[in-house]
Structure 1
Amino acid sequence: MTMASSNTKIPRPEYPRPNWERPHWINLNGQWQFDIDHGKSGKERGYHHAEHELSRTITVPFCPESKLSGVEYTDFMAAVWYRREFSVPETWSSGRILIHFGAVDYNTEVWINGVSVGTHRGGYSPFSFDITAEVSSGVNIITVYAEDDVRSGLQPRGKQSGRFYSSGCDYTRTTGIWQTVWLEQVPETYLSNMKLVSDPDNACVHLDLKIEGNTAGGSVSAAAFYDGKQVGHASVLMSGPSLKMSIPLSQVHLWEVGKGRLYDLKLSLYQQGQVDDSVSSYFGLRTVRLDGMAFRMNERSVFQRLVLDQGFYPDGIYTAPSDEDLRKDIEISMGLGFNGARLHEKMFEPRFLYWADQLGYLVWGEHANWGLDITTTTGLSQFLPEWLEGVERDFNHPAIIGWCPFNETWDHNGTRQNNDVLRIVYEVTKQIDPTRPVIDTSGNYHVVTDIFDIHDYDQNPESFRAKYEPMKTGGEVFNTFPDRQKYEGQPYFISEYGGIWWNPNQNDEKSWGYGDRPTSEEAFLERYEGLTSTLLDHPMMFGFCYTQLYDIEQEVNGLYTYDRQPKFDPEMIRRINSRKAAIED
C-alpha cells in the first residue's frame, strides 16, 4: 500500500513509474492554484514568492486546455503558473526528499518555499529535484512555472496545433503539467537508476545500476521472481556510483506477442548489514534482431501488425482520464487483430508502457519532433537531450522493440533538414541502446537507418499493390522520395498506410481524412482488406502500420471514434489483420 493509493479522490492515483517503485511516496495530483501569464511577467511580479497566491484553480495532472483540468482555455498561453501546499510525514525526517514530474510542457522552473530548486527543458521527458534542504516541518509551498511556444520552431510540439483551431492532423495543444507530480523519500544513499538487458539464451539478466551517496562498505542484492517463486539471485559489493551484475535464472519464460510473461525484480541496497534502500521492478526476457527482410523476436519471424496511436483523449487531451483508459486502448487494438503500435509524435507516459509490457504489445518509441526546426544544428541541441532522457526512461520496457526519434522531417520554410542532425541522433541512440533497431525518421527523409520505411496513403488497392510487385522478383524497390533518400537493402516497412476517411455521423465541414471517402461500410472494408492483404502477402514486408486506431477531433480515419466506440464489427477487422503473413515462420 502506497501513501497515495488510499485516497481514491486524487486523479490518476496510481504509482506513475511502475518499473522503479518505492514504498514511500505522496501523490501531488489534485487541486492546485493556477494562473495564465500571457506576458511572461510573473517572475517580475513575484509569482514565485511563497506568499503569492494565484487567482484560479486547476486539477493536476490535466493540462489547462482540457475539460478535466476545470480550466478549458484553448487559446495560446505563453506561460502558466501553479501553486499548492504540501506537508511531509514526520517519518520522513531522515534521508532525502525528491520531487518528481512526469512531464511538463515546456520550459519549467520549480520553487519550494520561494527558493528555486531547478529548471528543465522539454515537454515529454521526466525530471526530478532533491528538495531536502528547502523543505521544512509543517506546511510547504511548491510553485511551478512553465513557458510554452509551439510556434517558435525551437521545441518539439508533436501534433499540437500551431494555429488557433485544430486543423488537418494537428489537434488541441497541451501546456504545462500533464503527468503526475509526486514526492518520494529515499535514504542518504540510494539506487538512482537501472539499465537492464535480458539474455534468455544464457538464462540470465544483466543490470547496470547507478547509486547516489556514500557507497563505501555497502552492497546491492537482486532477486528475480516468476509467479511468486524466486528464480534468481545475485549480490555484489558497491565500489563506486556505478555497478554491474548478472542474475542467473533457473527458469526461462519468454516475453512474446500477446504473452507478457514478466518477472518481478526486487533490489536491495545494504549498508552495515541493514537494508537502506529497496526498489521493486520487473522485466521481460526477449530478444529482437533484424535478419535479412525479417524482424525476429526470440528468433522467430514476427510480422508487426501495428496501428498508429497518437495518445489523445477527448477530455484529457494528452493525459488519459484513468489508468484503465490506457489499458483499454491496448485491448481495443488487440481486439482488432493488431499486435502493436507506433506511438506517434509523442513520448507516451510510463503507465501505457507498463500495460504494453503486461499484455505483450509491441511498440515503437518516438519523439514529438514536429514543430522543431532541424535545418541547423541548433535543432540538435533542442532535440537530443530530451530524446536521451526518454530513451533512458523507457529502456527497460520489453514492449519497446525499436526507436524512431523523428517522423516525416519535412522542409522548414523551404529549407531542407540538416542531415547531420538525423545522423547524430541515430548514432547516439545506437550507442545508448545497441539492442534495438533504430529508424532515423519515419517516412522521410532517411539519412542513416536500420529499416527503410515509407508512408503510402494510396487509396486504390490495385495501384497500391502494383508499386510493390517488382520487389518480389528483385526488381525496383518503391521509394517515395528517390531524390532525397536512397534504399540500401534494409528491411522494408510501410509504417503508415490506409487512413481511410470514414465519418458517417460527423459534420462533413469539420472532418478531415486521406483521399476519397468510401460510399458504404462494405466499400470501406473492401478497401481495407485490399490494402492490408498487399502487405501481408508480400515476402519482403516485415510489418505494417495502419492509420489509425481512433478518430482525433476533426481527423476521422480511425477504426474507432474519438470516444472509443467501434465504427465496424471489430471481428471483421480482426479477421483481415490476423491472417498469416508471407514472411512469418
Structure 2
Amino acid sequence: MRHIKSVFAIFSILFFQFPNAQAQLKWQPLGSHLSTPWTAKVSPENALPEYPRPQMVRSKWLNLNGEWGFQLMDKKTEAVGKKGKILVPFPVESALSGIRQKVAPGDLMVYNRSFELPQKWTGQRILLHFGAVAREAKVFVNNKETGTHKGAYDPFTFDITAYLKPAGQQHITVQASNPAGEGNPRPASGIWQTVWLEAVPKTYIKSYRAEPDADKNRVLVRVVTAGENKSSAVVVARIFENGKKLSEARGRSGTPLMMNIRSKAHYWSPGDPFLYDLEISIANKNGDKIKGYFGLRKISTGAGASGTARLLLNNEPLFQNGLLDHGLYPDGGCTPPTEAAMQYDLKMAKEMGFNLIRKTGIAPARWYYLCDKTGLLVWQDMPAAANRSKEEQRQFKWELKAMVDHLFSHPSIVAWAPFGSGKGQHDLGFYIKKLKQWDPLRLVIAPAGSIENRSADLLDARSFPAPFLPQSENGKPLILGGFGGLGLGVRGHQWPGSDWNYLPVEAPENLLAGYEELRRQLLPLIENGLSAAVYVQLSDSPTENDGLLTYDRKLTKIDPSLVAAANQGYLPPKPLSDARIFIKKRNVKLATPKPGASITYTFDGPGPNAVWKPYKEALRLRKNTTLRCRAEWPDGKKSQVRDYVFTKTKPIRNPNGSSGKSSGASPNASSSHPGASPVPQSGTSPNAAPEKILGASPNHPLTAWLDVPKTAVYTFHLTTAADTRLSVSNQILIENNNLRSEQEKHGSIALKKGKHPVQLFFLNKKNGGDADVWAVGEDGQRVEVGLR
C-alpha cells in the first residue's frame, strides 16, 4: 500500500503542478498495420459518444471519453515509461489509444483528466461510471481515493459526491494494472469502455433486472435502489408499447413487480425483434427515473415435430445458425472504433443469413443493445482465464457472476458458456449449477466429453472443418459449437502472421465452393436432429484468416447474398458420385440438398449461345465432358452455376502381376497416370463406417494388397489429422500436409480387376499416426482395404 501511494504522489506532482506541460501533449492516432473504414472518423470530440448503457438511460449525464493524460510506469522502480495523451476508451495496446504500447505485468497505467460539473447538477449526487477497466483499478477524485475494483469485463460505479469541490475544476486519476497469470489473451489493458458521470437524486435506482414470462405474457421486474432511505423507497414500473402504456406496478425497493401485458403479446424473435419500453421511477417529487426496455421471449429445449430434442424459441423449434465472433478490430483492439463498426458486423451477419452470434469476449453494452434491436441471438462465452491458483479461480467465479448480472436483461442472450474455449476449465459441475441459480431463464452450454457436464442443457461438440452429428446424451438437443474455419488470406487486408485456419483455400471462388460444400453436409444433419451450428468465423483476427470478413472490415470474402443462399440450402446441383473419371461410359445423376428444385444443364460451356436443357434422368457420358448445371426453386431462388469436369481414362493394371506378391510399391511414384484422379474434399462419407488404423511408423508404411473384384473406378477416402500420403497401385492419390484438424479427402482411380498395392505413409512423427481408410466402388458398395 505504501508503494502505491508513493507512485501516486509522483504522478500527482507531475499532473497537478505542471498543467502547461500536460497541455502541450496532444493525442494522435498511431499508425497500424491496418485501418478500418471508421479509423479516420475517430477523434477526441467523438470517441464513442453514445449513451453507454441503453437499458438504463438517464437524461443527466456527461461523457468523459476523450483525451486523458497518461503515463506508463514501472511499479517496482517507479521509472516513467511512455507518457502523453491517451484517447479513452481505447486500450493501451491499440493504435487509436495514441499509445500502442504492450503492458507488462509489473506496469502501472496512470490516467488523469479534469472536468467541470454542469451548474444544474448542484445538489444532486454524482455517480462516476466505468464500463470496464482491465484488470485492477484504483480511482482518485481530487487527490482522494474513491474506490477500487478488480475485474476486466464488468462495469462499476462510485458515488463521488463527497470528494468533489464546491465548484470549478475537478480531477480524476485512475491507476490500472493488468497482473500476470490471470489469463487475458485479448488486447486490452487499462480503460477500454466508456467512462461517464451522472447526476441522481439522494435516493436513486442502482440496477434492475427484467424477467420475461412469455408463457403467461407478463414480466417480473426487480429493482435495487441506493442512497438515502433506499429500503423505504417506493418504486414504480411501467410498460409501454409504441408510446401507449400497457401496465404499471409499484412497491418498495426489492419487491418483485409483476406486470401483465394486457394487449396481444408481441414476442421477440430474430425475425421480429420487438422490444417493449420500460420506465422505472422512484415515487416522490423529482424522484430518479430511468428508461429501458425488455423483450418478451422464452428459450428452452423440447421435442420438435419428429419427436427429436430441439432448441425452442417461444416454444417453437428454431435452428440456430451461428457465427463465432471475437469482436476485435485492428485499430481499437477489443474496443470498437465506432458504433457504426458494431452495426456493420451485425448487419453483415444478418445479410448472410445467420441468426446467432457466439461471442467469445464481453462487448460494450451497446453491442448487446444492437443485437436486441437487430434480432440476433447470442451465446455468451465467459472470456478465457488461466485459473491456475485458488485465488484466480475465486476471481473467475466473481467475474462470471458479474457478467450474468450485467447482461441479464438483454433478450438476445439465450445461453451462457462458462468455458467456451476450454482454457482454465475447473469445477465444471459447480459452475453449471451456479449459472442455473443465477439465471434460470437461459440455457447453459458445457464442453462435451466431460463427466461433469450432465446437468448442462447443451453439450458443446466441435468439428473442423467439416460438420458432424454429435452423439445424443440424455435427450439433450444436439449442437455443433464450432465448425468450418476455411482460411483465405487477402494481401493488404490481414494482420502480419494471421495465417491460422483449419483448411486453407487459394481464391474467393474456392472459398465459396468450400463453404457451399460444408453447408451441403450440414443440411442432412439438421434433418437428423442438429439444433444449432456455429461457423468459424465472422471476421479475421490478429492470428487467424478464417473469417468471412477481412480483419479491417474493408472486404467481404464472399458475396453476403451467396452465403445467405447457401445457408438456406439453395446450393448448386452435384453428381451423386464423387468420382470424376470413367472408363468407357458414365451415368451421371444430379441432385440438390433442398427439394423441389428444377435442374438444368449444358455441355456447351460458358458462352452466351449455350443451350440449357432440363435435367430429367441420368446423363450418359462417353467422352471427356465439362458439365455445367444450375437449379431453380418454385420461390424463384436460384443456385450458382457449377462446373464438373469428367475425364475418360484407361484402367491401371496391377504393377506386379495378379499374384499379390509385393516387390515394394514406391512412395515417390508419380500420380500422373490418367487413371488416377485425386479429388481433395473436406467432409464425412455417407458410406459404411471406416476401419481405424493406429500407430503407424513414418518410416514403414502400412501396406495392403487390394483384391479388386472387377475393372472399374474406385474412390478412396482418407480421414486423418496426420500428415499422410495414400498411394494406390504406385499412384499418389491423396496427400495431406500441415493439417490442423482431422479432415477427410478422397481421390478416384480406375483399376483393372486383380490385386493392387495400397500404401499409407505417415510423413511426420509429431502429429500422430491415426487414420481411417476405405474405398467405394461405382455401385456405391464399400471395398475392404485391409491396411496393416
TM-score (norm 1): 0.83
How far apart, CA to CA, are the structure 2 residues paired with 1:369 and 1:516?
Answer: 25
Indicate the residue corresponding to 2:374 in structure 1: 359
Residue pair 1:423, 1:440 contacting (<8 A) in 2 also: no
Match of 1:428, SS state, is helix
Deviation at 1:573, TM superposition (A): 0.8
State yes or no: 1:61 paired with 2:54: no
**Inter-CA distance 425–553: structure 2 relative to 1 (3 Å threshold):** same
Report the CA distance shift for 1:60/1:261 in structure 2 as closer, same or farther (over 3 A): same
Q: Does 1:496 find its partner at 2:482?
A: yes
Q: Pairwise CA RMSD of aligned residues?
A: 2.5
After TM superposition, give the deviation of residue 313 of structure 1 in Å.
0.9
Q: In 2, Cα distance between the equivalents of 1:327 and 1:442?
A: 33
The structure whose residues are more often strand, as a share, is 2
Whole-angstrom CA distance in 2 between matches of 1:244 and 1:282:
17
From 299, 317, 338, give the equivalent of 1:301.
Answer: 317
Letter in 2 for 1:360: G
> How far apart, in 2, do the equivalents of 1:572 and 1:184 lie?
47
Query: How far is the alpha carbon of 1:368 from its aligned partner?
Result: 1.1
Conserved? CA contact 1:220–1:235, under 8 Å: yes
1:75–1:24 distance in 2 versus 1, CA, 3 Å: closer
2:442 to 436, 439, 444: 436
Structure 2: distance between partners of 1:259 and 1:8: 37
Q: Is the 8 A contact 1:405 1:441 kept in 2?
A: no
Q: Indicate whether 1:259 and 2:272 are aligned.
A: yes
**SS of corresponding position for 1:530:** helix
Alignment match, 2:58:
22
Aligned to 1:337: 353
Amino acid at match of 1:182: W
Give, in whole Å, the separation in 1 of the partners of 2:446 and 2:153: 19
What corresponds to 2:409 in structure 1?
396
Once residues 377 and 8 of structure 1 are traced to their aligned partners in structure 2, the CA distance between those partners, rounded to angstroms, is: 41
Per the alignment, do residues 536 and 515 of structure 1 end up closer, same or farther by CA in structure 2, a change over 3 Å counting? same
Structure 1 residues 369 and 516: alpha-carbon distance in aligned structure 2, compared to 1, 3 A threshold: closer
- Which region of structure 1 is more displaced relative to structure 2, 126-135 or 225-234? 225-234
Structure 2 residue identity aligned to 1:199: D
C-alpha distance in 2 between matches for 1:446 and 1:513: 31
Give yes or no for contact 2:92–2:103 (8 Å, CA) kept in 1. Answer: no
What percentage of residue pairs aligned between the two structures are identical? 33
Q: Deviations over 1:360-417 (max 9, x none)?
A: 11001222124x234x54342020111111111100000001111212324x7xxxx5
How many residue pairs match? The answer is 515
Q: Which of 246, 249, 252 is matched with 2:261 structurally?
A: 249
2:463 to 456, 466, 486: 456
Q: CA deviation at 1:502?
A: 1.1
Conserved 8 A contact 1:443-1:455: no
Q: 1:222 deviation in Å?
A: 1.6
Contact 1:40 1:79 in 2 (8 A): no
C-alpha separation in 2, matches of 1:323 and 1:231: 32
Aligned runs of 1:309-324 on 2, under 5 Å?
309-324=325-340
Find the aligned partners of 1:27 and 1:407 in 2 and give their Cα distance. Answer: 34
The 1:364/1:509 distance shift into structure 2, 3 A limit, reads closer
Alignment of 1:363-402 (within 5 A): 363-370=378-385, 372-374=386-388, 377-402=390-415
1:115 to 2:130 alignment:
no
Is 1:542 paired with 2:563?
no
**Cross-structure match for 1:70:** 98
Structure (1 or 2) with the larger CA radius of gyration: 2
Greater relative contact order: 1 or 2 (C-alpha under 8 angstroms, separation 6 or more)? 1
- After TM superposition, the structure 1 stretch with the greater mean CA deviation from structure 2, 334-343 or 251-260, is 251-260
Deviates more, 1:503-512 or 1:385-394: 503-512
Which residue of the other structure, out of 198, 218, 223, is the alignment partner of 2:238? Answer: 223
Residues 579 and 310 of structure 1: CA distance in aligned 2, closer, same or farther (over 3 Å): same
What does residue range 52-201 of structure 1 map to in structure 2 within 5 Å?
55-74=83-102, 76=104, 78-136=107-165, 137-149=167-179, 152-153=180-181, 155-157=182-184, 159-160=185-186, 173-201=187-215
Alpha-carbon contact 2:387-2:396 (below 8 Å) kept: no
Structure 2 contact 495–542 (Cα < 8 Å) conserved: no
For residues 369 and 496 of structure 2, the distance between their equivalents in structure 1, rounded to whole angstroms, comes to 39
> Is residue 109–residue 175 contact of structure 2 (8 Å, CA) maintained in 1?
yes
Tell me the equivalent position of 2:589: none
CA-CA distance at 1:83 after TM superposition:
0.5
Please state how far the C-alpha of 1:234 moved relative to its aligned partner. Answer: 2.0
CA deviations 1:310-348 (Å, max 9, x no partner) are: 01011101111111211111101111111110001x111
Give 2:64's aligned amino acid. Answer: L
Provide the secondary structure at the position in 1 that maps to 2:111: strand
Runs of 4+ in 1 over 6 A off after TM superposition: 442-445
AA aligned opposite 1:394: L
Distance 1:546 1:443, change over 3 A: farther
What's the counterpart of residue 544 of structure 2? 555
